[in-house]
């Protein structure tokens, strides 16, 4: 992977160098804030390409963050729903267990040892 990246950088550098050398025509460039009286066309193309790449990467990173945040929110909502269902099941189980315990206590309280009557025969 490292070799591919080095080869890619060498290719981009070679392309940029060829762009500057092959487009040697000088022209005046009017920027918003300043004016450049004479600049080589290849250099202007190179600056434009670099600015476009940087802006594209920055915009791409921001868009990816928006999508990443959206995916994270969806995942967290699913987790919340799962935990709610789990909590409801736990509460239902605890309520059923408490009701069974209450029935057991009532059954035990209903049977008194002194209520036993002797056999009439």
- Segment 25-52 shows an average pLDDT of 84
> pLDDT band for position 121 (50/70/90)?
low
Strands (E), the chain: 26-30, 35-40
- What sign results for the dihedral spanned by CA atoms 70, 75, 79, 81? positive
- Other Cβ atoms within 10 Å of 41 Cβ, number: 16
Angle at 13 between CA 7 and CA 15, to 5 degrees: 100
pLDDT digits (tens, 9 = 90+) for 55-111: 998 888 888 888 889 899 999 999 999 999 999 999 999 999 988 887 777 666 555
pTM above 0.75, yes or no: no
């Amino acid at each position: 992977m490292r070799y591919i990246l080095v080869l890619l950088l060498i290719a981009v550098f070679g392309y940029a160098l060829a762009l500057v050398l092959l487009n040697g025509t000088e022209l005046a460039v009017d920027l918003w804030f300043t004016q450049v009286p004479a600049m080589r066309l290849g250099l202007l193309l190179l600056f434009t390409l670099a600015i476009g790449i940087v802006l594209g990467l920055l915009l791409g990173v921001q868009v990816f963050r928006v999508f990443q945040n959206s995916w994270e929110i969806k995942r967290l909502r699913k987790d919340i729903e799962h935990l709610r269902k789990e909590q409801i099941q736990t509460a239902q189980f605890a309520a059923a267990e408490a009701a069974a315990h209450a029935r057991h206590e009532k059954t035990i309280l209903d049977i008194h040892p002194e209520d036993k009557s002797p056999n009439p025969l």
